[in-house]
Chain A
Amino acid sequence: MITRRGSMLAHLEEHDLIETGVGENDSGVMLASSELVVHRAIYQNSWALAVCHCHPPYAVALSLVQDEIIPVDSEGSYMLHRVPVLGAEHTIGSTEVAEILSEALKEYKIVMLRGHGCFAIGHMLEEAYQWCSTLEAAATIICHLRALGGDVKDYRKGADRFTNW
């Protein structure tokens, strides 16, 4: 199941959900999201039972200046630890993206595609969406911290280790 190409994601209705093959094409591909090839690769190569992809603005902004996003807020630290940022020349619906993302999602539950958005996996859609939401909250806080300036009072033991996650 994947969203219809061009559907308004904040206002999905029943006809915006398209069913098509996870390994083989059928007529459903005519209507499916342009990210179909990426979603398929993720399902085939990881343990994902659900995939959530969105374009969180703060996380996208950070992906343009960093190679990883390491949350500093509590929930982001507990739940995500480290979110890799991956780059690709063709960032929408390309086999290049399908390969690098599906590979990364074997080991992480959410990754960023530089300049584009996040891809998260979960046991169900609500869980995958939670990772996207947690990431954007974490990214928002990081951006605000930079605007505030000054030294961050890190409260976490071994915070420098998160880059090893």
Chain B
Amino acid sequence: MSLWIERWRRLIWGAEALWGAGVAHTTVSLGEGGRSVACIGPAGERKVLLAAIMNDGTRALARGGVGAAMGAKRLKAIVVSEEGKSSIAEPERFDFYRYESEKLLKASPLTAHGLPEFGTAALVNVLNAAGALPTRNYQQCSFEGAEAISGEALKERFVIGKRGCWGCPIACTRRTEVDGVRGEGPEYETIWALGADCGIDDLKAIVHANYLCNELGIDTISMGATIACAMELTERGLLPQGPRFGDAGMLLPLVEATALRRGLGDELAEGSARLSKRYGAPECSMQVKGLEMPAYDPRAMQAQGLAYATSNRGACHLRANMMGSTLLGLPKLVDRLNGSGQAGLLIELQNLNAALDSLVLCKFGHWALAEEHYSRLVSAVTGRRYEEAELLQIGERIWTLERLINLGRGFSKKDDTLPDRMLHDAAPCGPAEGKVVELEPMLAEYYRFRGWSKDGIPTERKLSELGLREYGRQLLPC
């Protein structure tokens, strides 16, 4: 079935004819007349735990298996059809704030040059030079083939143009073409997951695999990380005839097999945590709370480890990415090899990102804009005055509510952790050589600054401050 939203009325519409169809066909069929479509592909229909929801063809709501959730409800797509423009309460004031925000976006080399010219793939060389590019299932911290899969290489070989989301002045999306096939991407995370993490430096193969993930509706990060896990299991002799690091030729077959749950793909479809446990080596899964870690080695960015460990949906760079302060110097550079004292920075970023997600605002803007821009823009649009502190408190409320839900479902401090490899196996090379993630002291600092107990439970005082006491009573286990 599909869910249609037109003029704010919801209609359930049969979509049996589209069940089994790929993302492109589904989007074109349902998106006629300028409608917006969020759909699942064959992966979501088969409840693959790595399945994504694809919005308008190539924009992925990827992490956490949300596509599988839709597939479990046999919901193929959500279609929205609306006419007219949104209203803005104070258009002149909004225009002023928008103009001032655009000035900053144009002034920042990241948002004015780096992202527009290379897309997110520009980060490959940056992270590699920092010794923070996880390689071969996080066994190494830098990749000898990084140049071949860098943003520069992508631009030289496959980029035919760029695209931005509606109204965006950055336009970070790469339009690419390979072997006569056109598509979008790959992004940095995809290049890393299907490239360095698998020991693969074949950029053409990575581009093709990215297209296939989009068409089948799969999270590229979890896909690549799960393949990398399988590769390590093979290397250890635990997975007979499994894929090997560096074998680019098996990327497409494995992605397809995963989406369709065939052969080894049926095992990969369950994610790296279940895969590695099945073969008796759970330490081979680089995941937190079941979600595979993305493209930043926390041994070289200590506070990023804290971000992964405390993210409510598992290891996620979108909930908070400490790359800003630890590598890019935004707002100022902090010591990335010593996470002490950075819990406050992380918490503020988590709260802000929760608010930005709620506003459906791109996080790349924050690489040039400050909280004051967001609060003023929202105030002008809504006609209600939002202060910066209030916006952040809204984000904190969202974050804390998510935490309460997790606690109510059995998550606890023991889940705010990292894979053993990050805690016990030192980085073998690069600027972070010899480092493991010193998580315990950072976590203690984090709980204290959050106003939570030593066990990571929001206190009565904090819940009262946020107006969440009633939720605490309902959701926290007795």
Which A residues have a C-beta under 8 Å from some C-beta of B? Answer: 45-47, 49, 78, 81, 106-109, 122-124, 126-127, 130, 157-158, 161, 164-165
Contacts and interface: CB of A to CB of B under 8 A. Distances in A.
Contacts of A81: 100
Nearest to B324: A123
State the main secondary structure of chain A at its contact with B. loop
Given A106-B387, A106-B389, A124 B332 contact: yes
B331 A47 contact: no
A46 B344 CA distance: 13
A49 B348 contact: yes
28 contacts: A45-B389, A46-B389, A47-B371, A47-B388, A47-B389, A47-B392, A49-B345, A78-B103, A78-B107, A106-B387, A106-B388, A106-B389, A106-B390, A107-B375, A107-B387, A107-B389, A109-B372, A122-B331, A123-B325, A123-B331, A123-B332, A124-B331, A124-B334, A124-B345, A126-B331, A161-B96, A165-B100, A165-B376
B99 interface: yes
Contacts of B371: 47
A107 B392 contact: no
A46 B389 CA distance: 5
Contacts of B100: 81, 165
Interface in B104-125: 104, 107
Contact of B104 (A45, A78, A164): A78
A104 to B, nearest CB: 10
Interface of B: 93, 96, 99-100, 103-104, 107, 325, 331-332, 334, 344-345, 348, 370-372, 375-376, 387-390, 392
B390 A164 contact: no
Name the residue among B93, B389, B390 with the largest chain A CB count within 10 angstroms.
Answer: B389
A123 B96 contact: no
A4 B74 CA distance: 65
B372 A123 contact: no
A164 B93 CA distance: 8
A106 B371 CA distance: 11
Nearest to B97: A165
Contacts of A165: 100, 376
Contacts of A130: 332
A126 B329 CA distance: 11
Given A46-B389, A47-B389, A106-B390, 11 more contacts: A47-B348, A47-B371, A78-B107, A122-B331, A123-B331, A123-B345, A124-B334, A126-B332, A130-B332, A161-B96, A165-B100
Contacts of B344: 49
Nearest to A103: B387
The winner among B103, B371, B388 for most chain A CB atoms within 10 A is B388
